[in-house]
Amino acid sequence: MEWKNFSKLATYKKLAEFGTPVDVKEAMAGENGAKRVAEYKVPMSSGMVYSYASKQVNDELLDLLQELADEAALTEKYAALYNGDIINTGEKRLVLHQLCRGQLGDDVVVNGENKRDFYLAQQARAAEFANKVHAGEIVNEAGEKFTTAVQIGIGGSDLGPRALYLALENWAKVNNTLKMEAKFISNVDPDDASAVLANIDVAHSLFIVVSKSGTTLETLTNEAFVKDALEKAGLNPSKHMLAVTSATSPLANNPAYLDSFYMDDFIGGRFSSSSPVGGAILSLAFGPEIFDRIMAGAGAEDILAKNADIRKNPAMLDALIGVYERNFLGYNTTAVLPYSQALSRFPAHLQQMDMESNGKSVNRFGEEIDYQTGPIIFGEPGTNGQHSFYQLLHQGTGIVPLQFVGFKNNQMENDVVIEGSTSQQKLSANVAAQIVAFALGKDDDNRNKYFAGSRPSSIIVGDQLNPEALGALLAHFENKIMFQGFTWNVNSFDQEGVQLGKLLAKKVLAKDTDGALTAYSELLGIF
Amino acid sequence: MEWKNFSKLATYKKLAEFGTPVDVKEAMAGENGAKRVAEYKVPMSSGMVYSYASKQVNDELLDLLQELADEAALTEKYAALYNGDIINTGEKRLVLHQLCRGQLGDDVVVNGENKRDFYLAQQARAAEFANKVHAGEIVNEAGEKFTTAVQIGIGGSDLGPRALYLALENWAKVNNTLKMEAKFISNVDPDDASAVLANIDVAHSLFIVVSKSGTTLETLTNEAFVKDALEKAGLNPSKHMLAVTSATSPLANNPAYLDSFYMDDFIGGRFSSSSPVGGAILSLAFGPEIFDRIMAGAGAEDILAKNADIRKNPAMLDALIGVYERNFLGYNTTAVLPYSQALSRFPAHLQQMDMESNGKSVNRFGEEIDYQTGPIIFGEPGTNGQHSFYQLLHQGTGIVPLQFVGFKNNQMENDVVIEGSTSQQKLSANVAAQIVAFALGKDDDNRNKYFAGSRPSSIIVGDQLNPEALGALLAHFENKIMFQGFTWNVNSFDQEGVQLGKLLAKKVLAKDTDGALTAYSELLGIF
């Protein structure tokens, strides 16, 4: 198994010479379109399906993408990852977030510690803690039950857990499993913490400070902000605070916290929703058994990702179609469009997951590369996006590949019939209609009302956004990004690009600046 | 004054031949960087400033952009707009949203009606209604005060008002002017309405149904959903509902509503925050005098936009730098990065405003054009974005122009000193640091830690995000987009690209489908 630059692969040249790309409008017209929808799909776990009929692919191209998968040894690289190789080359670390959800290969033992046992033990501790809170065995100083859990974290300690919480908040309500309300404080803007604190009952709130290193400035600042508020309310912060951190951080085993749960350097922030970063808050909010169900959905998807046949591996196929679009069709953005209000913040999580992982200009050995890597990701839930930026997607001068997500049933089972259809039917009708409108377009002599069509999209369809489906979605995109990183030969697991800003911000605060940095600091009224 | 395609202008050719673009890294290095920050800025209204020092411009290019502004007759076209010409050519309509905020030119009289008088009268009626609600003169059937206002609308009837409400919600709390809480129902996903209804006290809620045509399917569906909930709670919907619509719509003058306020066809949805679409809900939430202050801030910016000198016209200068980046530097996206948690949904509003206005492939006469138009817009508040997608912005293989917004002071005046600085200082230090990190980069023998720099950005700086500053921001971007549309010779005020999807969705609901549309409807479980 070799780690070669993408442009050095024989398949790269073949793809570059593939000739005229498939025209979606042509391919999807008439009964052939129906045939493609029936054929160009891959089962996912939890009854979901990945449909790529409206992508710019045909059998010949799919065969080439299979060749690419084989030549790039994607399956072997995935195996190397889950068997414990040092995949994060920059930081010389293993990459083990999938191990939180299942054992995919060998035992991974580091310094005598079986890592799966370690991750399971931490989640078991978080689960036990949550159960005790729910049972009223862990209570506030007045002996009353905690009602609210507040996550204090930023980036991967915020976006993933927040997206997952919002995705199931209403589902949990109707299924009587919303144990505690969850809130999130992330921004160093003091108005963020102020606003959250103004809207909760701090005396009945648990705060989870999440920082792997224990040194994230925004998070420590917000922690201090919250402690200050607790003290002003006559409360003892150490009776209201938890830590999720690494075992060696200053937050670990610290009497400032009721308890602490650990992850380690082998789980990157943006992949940490499966660790106690997500597990603590989601177990408190929904109960540990719901978190376990999310993990089961993710774990099932991780197993599917082992399949070397791209036509049976939705994450790998999605990844390779994306690579084809990025490097050979020249598309530099992807819109994520979930037709589910509960997934309102899922695109923001994917935005970090994808752009922080694959927004790189050097390969995994730190050498410059000569091809494009990760795309820009953005998105909002449909139908809202339709009334916003879809104009450009339909009639703008560029092409944006679209990643739809839809469900046959809504979460809250509360609906109304208007003009002969339910809201859920309208929602689903809209996503079906959009895919076809983007693909087929519409002729019109009035060019203002003309739709060129030929705009590629895929869709993931599920029965309902429940814990398993959510876990499957999470793992699908994590694994897609991993396979794309393997193909581009980048290290998808570090983020050196965030360091320089931190360094310069420290200089500003220390007034150790010159030139433009001084001038901007003055413009912003800091000096 | 001629409406010519951009590529037909003499300045287009000059810009194409401008030669090597300005290198931000070179331009901003050392004391020259400080000099540029001091010089390359334009005052805005309300004490704000637009700083473009880190853009790829120099005096020579600015002179060329001035030539472009002159040749494209941007000032004259703006005057034609505010004096009442038919600027929305596709729909043969005037474009009058600025008229809600001030009289910029001639009286605009349509069918004998002075439009400014009409807009002011509608706002006065919405203000009077809000005052009566606040005073307890308009109450629910039990004679109790309304506490919550819920907007039911989608697209422009949702994103702008929601972004503005969130921008001032906390400011209003600390300034004791939060009269009512506002909520928003937009998505046809029934879970959206269910979730909002589950979190409010419907007996004390006013619902504002917002649809210009009175026929927006999502909005009428959600209205029916809410009426159903009111009836199930034993309440009379007509005592809880208002309409914001056009005077000729089925919702106008309808006994189903307590009252109705009107806009007209001369105010497009995405520009309608200044009409009762924004005015009703914001007057109920904050009081009419706060809405008036937002309008005053916007109106002051509209006046600045009349200046023919681009160095004194922040919206026009911002627009033209954007055009240069889009058409001659090849950048197809722009990230909007407000360093203020209160602006969390402002990027989503700009996303619609920009992408729906200028995401077009035909000129204002419906003829195909041969150059790129509106960019893709995305963004999240800093510092959150830093821990998410900034990796790609710093070290990705493409360039994304950045539009920062920052404030010297936070809104809630609640802060804490950690490690010698307040959170607000940290927030401001981060934005200063990021601009400089993007511009200057950092050398490193380890290419993984190397930052190329030369990544262009601008920043708008204000004292505090108060009503006037918010209005100024709103108008700045509206006018920027207008000037870009003029330059590209597109009609920024229609949205034909949203029609096809609506049409096909209706076909699905009527089961009048074939081919791919049938197949996707089956995949989604609709049939």
* Test mutation, A219, A423, A454, chain B, max B CBs within 10 A: A423
Contact criterion met (CB below 8 Å) for A299 and A102: yes
Give the mean pLDDT of B367-371: 97
Task: Give pLDDT, residue A5.
Answer: 98
For B368, other C-beta atoms within 10 Å of its C-beta total 10
What residues contact residue A228 under an 8 Å CB cut-off, 6+ apart?
Answer: B416
Q: Answer yes or no: do B448 and B483 share one domain.
A: yes
Please tell me the distance from the alpha carbon of residue B187 to that of residue A305, in angstroms, as a whole number. 33
The Cα-based distances of B491 to B5, B58, B89, B105, B359 in angstroms read 12, 30, 7, 21, 10
In a shared domain, residues B427 and B525: no
For residue B2, with 0-12 CB atoms within 10 Å meaning exposed, 13-18 middle and 19 or more buried, which class applies? Answer: exposed
Same domain, B400 and B325: yes
> Where among A257, A276, A294 does a domain terminate?
A294
Distance, CA of B432 to CA of B37 (rounded, Å): 11
Helices then strands, counting H and E runs in chain B, come out as: 18, 15
Each residue of B240-262: b (16+ CB within 10 Å) or e?
bbbbbbbeebebbeeeebbbbbb
- List of chain A residues whose C-beta atoms are within 8 Å of the C-beta of residue B425: 509, 526
DSSP secondary-structure letter at B188? S
DSSP state, residue A317: H
Q: Is residue A327 part of a domain?
A: no
Residue-level length of chain A: 527
Q: Report the amino acid identity of residue B49.
A: V
Q: Determine the Cα–Cα distance for residues A306 and A313; give it in Å rounded to an integer.
A: 7
Calculate the CA A158 to chain-centre distance: 11
Q: Which chain A residue has its CA at the smallest distance from B431's CA?
A: A505
Task: For chain B, give the mean pLDDT.
Answer: 97
Which two three-digit tokens encode residue A377? Answer: 């990701």
Please tell me whether the peptide bond between B383 and the residue prior to it is cis, using omega within 30 degrees of 0.
yes
Give ∠ CA B199-B204-B207 in degrees, rounded to 5.
Answer: 80
**Which residue, A3, A4, A8, A14, is CA-closest to A324?**
A14
Is the backbone of residue B410 left (phi > 0), alpha (psi -120 to 50) or beta?
Answer: beta
- Among B398, B449, B497, whose Cβ lies nearest the Cβ of A391? B497
> Could you give the CA distance from residue A108 to residue A105 in angstroms, rounded to a whole number?
8
Last residue of a domain, one of A294, A319, A340: A294
Closest chain A residue to B384 measured between Cα atoms? A187
> Phi and psi dihedrals of B445, rounded to 5?
-65, -30
The answer to the question of residue B358 being in a domain is yes
**B38 and B131 part of one domain:** no
Instruction: Render pLDDT for B181-219 as a digit per residue (tens, 0 to 9).
Output: 999 999 999 999 999 999 999 999 999 999 999 999 899
Taking each helix axis from N to C end, the angle separating B288-304 and B115-134, rounded to the nearest 10 degrees, works out to: 150
Closest to A435 in 3D by CA, of A462, A457, A461:
A457
- Which of A95, A146, A448 lies closest to A281 in space, CA to CA? A146
Smallest Cβ–Cβ distance between A360 and the set B395, B463, B507 belongs to B395
Residues of chain B with C-beta less than 8 angstroms from the C-beta of A370: none
CB contact under 8 Å between B526 and A452, yes or no, is no
Q: Is B191 exposed, middle or buried (0-12, 13-18, 19+ CB in 10 A)?
A: buried
Task: Tell me the chain B residues in contact with residue A422 when contact means C-beta distances shorter than 8 Å.
Answer: 190
pLDDT at A23 over 90: yes
**Of A261, A279, A294, which marks where a domain is finished?**
A294
Q: Is B387 a catalytic residue?
A: yes
Residue A402 has which token pair?
Answer: 């679209």
Cβ proximity of A185 and A150 under 8 Å: yes
- Identify whether A148 is preceded by a cis peptide bond (ω within 30 of 0): no
Question: Does the pLDDT of residue B412 top 90, yes or no?
Answer: no
Q: Which domain covers residue B140, as residue numbers?
A: 97-294
**Contact of B489 with B369, CB cutoff 8 Å:** yes
> Residue A477 pairs with which residues in a beta bridge?
none
State residue A259 phi and psi, 5-degree precision. -165, 165
For residue B321, tell me if it sits in a domain. yes
**Residue whose entry in the numeric block shows the structure tokens 């801030």:** B297
CA distance A350 to A377: 7
Question: Chain B contact for A363, CB < 8 A?
Answer: no
The letter for the amino acid at B284 is L
Quote the CA–CA distance of A506 and A521 in Å, as a whole number.
Answer: 12
Strands A41-43, A49-51: parallel, antiparallel or unpaired by DSSP? antiparallel
Whether residue B11 is preceded by a cis peptide bond, meaning omega within 30 degrees of 0, is: no
Chain A partners within 8 Å of B426 (Cβ):
188, 217-218, 221, 505, 509
B152 contacts chain A (CB < 8 A) = no
A330 and chain B in contact, CB less than 8 A: no
Q: Residue B38's closest chain A neighbor by CA?
A: A519
Q: What is the pLDDT of residues B131-168, one digit of tens each?
A: 999 999 999 999 999 999 999 999 999 999 999 999 99
pLDDT given at position A364: 97
Quote the pLDDT of residue A102: 97
| Residue A326 is assigned to a structural domain of this protein | no
Burial-class residue B294 by CB neighbours within 10 Å (0-12, 13-18, 19+).
buried
Interface check B233 vs A, CB under 8 A: no
- Residue position matching structure tokens 């876990």: A471
Q: How far is B78 from chain A (nearest CA, A)?
A: 23
Tell me how many domains chain B contains: 3
Together in a domain, B288 and B328: no
Most distant CA atoms of chain B, gap in Å: 74
Residue A233 falls inside a structural domain: yes
Residue B377: CB partners within 8 Å, gap ≥ 6?
A389, B333, B334, B335, B336, B347, B350, B351, B354, B355
Question: What are the respective helix, strand and coil percentages of chain B, to the nearest 5?
Answer: 50, 15, 35
Which member of A356, A366, A425 has the closest CB to residue B526?
A425
With an 8 Å Cβ cutoff, are B516 and A28 in contact? yes
The reply to whether B5 falls in a domain is no
Q: Can you tell me the distance from the alpha carbon of B148 to that of A327, in angstroms, rounded to the nearest whole number?
A: 51
Is residue A180's pLDDT more than 90? yes
Asked if residue B56 lies in contact with residue B456, where contact means CB atoms within 8 angstroms, the answer is yes
Q: Residue B413: pLDDT above 90?
A: no
Q: Exposure of B522 by Cβ count < 10 A (0-12 exposed, 13-18 middle, 19+ buried)?
A: middle
Same domain, B146 and B264: yes
* A256 token code pair: 């400032």
Are B115 and B275 in contact by the 8 Å Cβ rule? The answer is: no
- Does residue A233 sit at the B interface (CB-CB below 8 Å)? no
The sign of the CA dihedral A318, A323, A324, A330 is: positive
Q: Which residues of A are catalytic?
A: 356, 387, 502
| Band of pLDDT at residue B414, cut at 50, 70 and 90 | confident
Count how many pairs of residues, chain A against chain B, have C-beta atoms within 8 Å.
Answer: 518
Residues in chain A closer than 8 A to B198 (CB atoms): 170, 173
Give pLDDT tens digits for A406-440. 999 999 888 889 889 999 999 999 999 999 999 99
B501/A394 touch (CB, cutoff 8 Å), yes or no: yes
Residue A432 CB contacts under 8 Å (≥ 6 apart), including other chains? B504, B505, B508, B517, B520, B521, B523, B524, B526
Q: How confident is the model over A383-406, as pLDDT tens digits? A: 999 999 999 999 999 999 999 999
List residues bridging with A49 in a β-sheet: A43, A461
CB atoms within 10 A of CB A238: 13
What are the percentages of helix, strand and coil residues in chain A, rounded to 5? Answer: 50, 15, 35
Between helix B288-304 and helix B467-488 the angle, nearest 10°, is: 40
Give the Cα separation of B162 and B345 in Å (integer).
7
The DSSP secondary-structure symbol of A239 reads: G
Distance between CA atoms of A281 and A273, rounded to whole angstroms?
10
Q: Judge whether B4 lies within some domain.
A: no
Residue A101 pLDDT > 90: yes
Rounded CA gap, B348 and B159, in Å?
Answer: 7
CATH number at residue B323: 3.40.50.10490
Q: How confident is the model at residue A1 (pLDDT cuts 50, 70, 90)?
A: confident
Token pair 């809000």 in the structure block, residue: B130
DSSP for A125-148 reads HHHHHHHHHHTTSS--TTSPPP-E
Dihedrals phi, psi of B53, to nearest 5 degrees? -60, -35
Q: Collect all residues of chain B within an 8 Å Cβ-Cβ radius of residue A452.
A: 361
Instruction: List the one residue out of B359, B284, B21, B429 whose CA is nearest residue A385.
Output: B359
Residue with tokens 């010698």: B420
B176, B287 in Cβ contact below 8 A? no
Residue-wise pLDDT tens digits, B489-510 = 999 999 999 999 999 999 999 9
The verdict on B244 and B172 lying in the same domain is: yes
B428 touches chain A (CB under 8 A): yes
Optimal mutation site among A31, A36, A175, A189, interface B, most CBs of chain B within 10 A: A189
Residues B193, B143 within the same domain: yes
Q: Does B225 touch chain A (CB under 8 A)?
A: yes
The answer to whether A190 faces chain B, any CB pair under 8 Å, is yes
Burial string for A184-206 (b: 16+ CB within 10 Å, else e) reads bbbbbbbbbbbbbbeebebbbbb
Return the sign of the alpha-carbon dihedral for residues B1, B5, B8, B11.
positive
Q: Quick check: is B35 in a domain?
A: yes
Enter the tokens of residue A292.
């376990």
Structure tokens of A378? 């953005």
